[in-house]
Amino acid sequence: MTDSTPALELRGITKRFGDLVANDGIDFDVRGGEVHALLGENGAGKTTVMRIAYGLTQADAGQILVGGHALAIRAPRDAIGAGIGMVTQHFALVRPMTVAENLALGRSRGLRLDLSQAGRRASDASERFGIRIDPTARVEDLSVGEQQRVEILKALSRDCRILILDEPTAVLVPGEVDALFATLRALVADGLSIVFISHKLAEVRAISDRVSVLRRGKLAGTVAGSTDERELARLMVGRPTFGVERPPDATVPSGAFALSLRGLHATGPQGLPALSEVSLEVRAGEIVGVAGVSGNGQTELVEVLSGMRRPTAGSVSVGGVELSRADPARMMRAGVGRIPEDRHASLIGDLSVAYNLVLERLDDFRRGGRIDERMVREHAAELMERFDIRARADDPVASLSGGNIQKVLLARVLSRDPRVIVVSQPTRGLDVGATEYVREQLLARRAAGAAILLVSEDLDELLALADRLVVMYEGRIVGEMAVADADLEHLGMLMAGRGMAA
């Protein structure tokens, strides 16, 4: 079924973004007629390495070989010329145009659009691979699954022999997943090579001949597609290094529920259901960790608790006050401190540090009709000292480093002594010093009696900080456990949607 020379081979691919090593010497190959899955948590470096293979990003070190020959791939057109196609999570289709027009766009030279040829190619491909699509349909009228088929057709119409699919099932409903898998099997039967990026164990096992697992930018192992889920989960999650910072003698929290969610439902940005039947409680003096691969409703959960998204059903209450219809200002008045994952978007990058620190409570800083600039500066100086923000008060926030931006947000939130803190990915992208600082601050608030809901993709972080964990998968809470009893394999299975099998 497979021949010996890999169709695509990556050797020692290394890529850094600032201090972050996204890919660390990754070796990967895919043969003709094979589906090779790339498995890992979000941020493990799966997408980055394949973006390098497709020319969307350049590697800092390493080699790309196609059919045994080293190639310099500087842009997608180099990759396309070498027979590599990629379907990214965000489709590159012109929505008001028809399928045939979209297919013709990528191929046409000169001024003429050869629509009849594009239409013919589309029907050829439909016949050969069972990709059913009406060439005259407008893309915007198609379902997401159909749009994905157009993207695959587009790659095939450029004579691609190596097809990279980045989380192709993330946007599909279950029936569409089966159709996609049937298509992929037809393609490999025709001798194509497929790289299948995913974090879902069941899918990876269902479709792959081999699986390479990435963990924190490194290759954790390459195993057969038939490897059992426990082993895959173990490779994916790894064995965390316990740098537990939570004092072991910490009292088990037994206070009243400070934050309580009941039967919460909400939709995501495209109006699709993102949260369903989410119920959880956080006591005063407790940190509840939310584990899960990103995109499983955590963002929407934090948005609801930030007052940025109205739930479609269910209740949110803080200290007994109903807040499911609260806006951000009301949430803050109720004592909820919010530190979302997108810290840049939660501040005003072009405004000064000092103004950002007072933006939530401008009315406390007015004298008569005007802003009391001296008070603003004194407040900034005090918080910058207390939270070790290394910048000047009138620097625009956007000019700060990631760690200092996070400290600005942290200072703005913690200076108001919130009873409830909702915090997401608090240390993502931060260096070691800033990470420790942020974690210490959260633990200090816990000790002071705040109820903290901590969303993180970093299991080490959750295990180090949280008292209890809940696991989210596809908008639901699929498991709950005390950190003391946490079993990593079980946790990995829950995160990958295999709660029932465990």
Partner 1 sequence: MRISPWSTPVLVVAAVLITFVITAGPILLAGANPVEAYAAFVVIPLTSQFTLLEVLVTATPILFTGAAVAIAFRAGYWNIGAEGQLLLGAIAAAGIGTLVGGLPAIIALPLMIIGGALAGAAWALVPALLRVRFGIDEVVTTLLLNPVALLLVNGLLHGPWRDPVTGFPESPRIAVAAEFPTLIERSRLHLGFLVALVVIGVSWYVLARTPTGLRLRASGLSPHGARFAGINVSRTLLGAALISGAIAGIAGVSEVAGIQNRLTGGLSPGYGYTGIVVATLGTLTLPGVALAAVFLADLTVGASSAARSLGIPSQLGAVVQGVLLLTTVALLAVRRHRLGRTTGRDAGSMTGDVAAEAQPG
Binding site for partner 1 (CB under 8 A): 306, 308, 327-329, 332, 338, 340, 345-351, 355, 359-360, 362-363, 365-366, 369-371, 396, 398-399
Which of these, 59, 75, 76, lies nearest to 10 by C-alpha position?
Answer: 59
Q: Report the residue number, 277 or 350, with the smaller CB distance to partner 1.
A: 350
The pair of structure tokens assigned to 91 is 């489709």
Q: How far is the CB of 356 from partner 1 (least distance, A)?
A: 8
Using DSSP's 3-state secondary structure scheme, residue 391 falls into coil
| CB-based burial label for 399 (10 Å; 0-12, 13-18, 19+) | middle
| CB-based burial label for 201 (10 Å; 0-12, 13-18, 19+) | buried
The pair of structure tokens assigned to 205 is 């096992």
Give residue for tokens 């800083």.
365
Count the neighbouring beta carbons within 10 Å of the beta carbon of residue 245.
Answer: 13
Q: How far is the CB of 301 from partner 1 (least distance, A)?
A: 16
DSSP 132: -
Q: How far is the CB of 440 from partner 1 (least distance, A)?
A: 25
Q: Report the residue number, 54 or 355, with the smaller CB distance to partner 1.
A: 355
Q: Report the residue number, 174 or 271, with the smaller CB distance to partner 1.
A: 271
Q: How far is the CB of 330 from partner 1 (least distance, A)?
A: 8
Q: Report the residue number, 150 or 326, with the smaller CB distance to partner 1.
A: 326
Q: Report the residue number, 32 or 311, with the smaller CB distance to partner 1.
A: 311
Q: How far is the CB of 346 from partner 1 (least distance, A)?
A: 5
Distance (Å, whole) CA 26 – CA 217: 8
Q: Beta strand 468-473 with 476-482: parallel, antiparallel or unpaired?
A: antiparallel
Q: Report the residue number, 306 or 404, with the smaller CB distance to partner 1.
A: 306
Cα dihedral 358, 360, 363, 367, rounded to 10, equals 10
Q: Report the residue number, 350 or 440, with the smaller CB distance to partner 1.
A: 350
Distance (Å, whole) CA 413 – CA 340: 11
Q: Would you say 235 and 223 are in contact if contact means Cβ atoms under 8 Å apart?
A: yes
Q: Report the residue number, 239 or 370, with the smaller CB distance to partner 1.
A: 370
Which of these, 28, 30, 62, 49, lies nearest to 163 by C-alpha position?
Answer: 30
Distance (Å, whole) CA 230 – CA 236: 10
Q: How far is the CB of 209 from partner 1 (least distance, A)?
A: 39
Q: How far is the CB of 360 from partner 1 (least distance, A)?
A: 5
Q: Report the residue number, 188 or 331, with the smaller CB distance to partner 1.
A: 331
Using DSSP's 3-state secondary structure scheme, residue 233 falls into helix
Q: Would you say 286 and 246 are in contact if contact means Cβ atoms under 8 Å apart?
A: no
Q: How far is the CB of 434 from partner 1 (least distance, A)?
A: 18
Q: Report the residue number, 72 or 345, with the smaller CB distance to partner 1.
A: 345
Q: How far is the CB of 362 from partner 1 (least distance, A)?
A: 4
Distance (Å, whole) CA 93 – CA 432: 41
* DSSP letters for 19-65: TEEEEEEEEEEE-TT-EEEEE--TTSSHHHHHHHHTTSS--SEEEEE
Q: Report the residue number, 356 or 456, with the smaller CB distance to partner 1.
A: 356
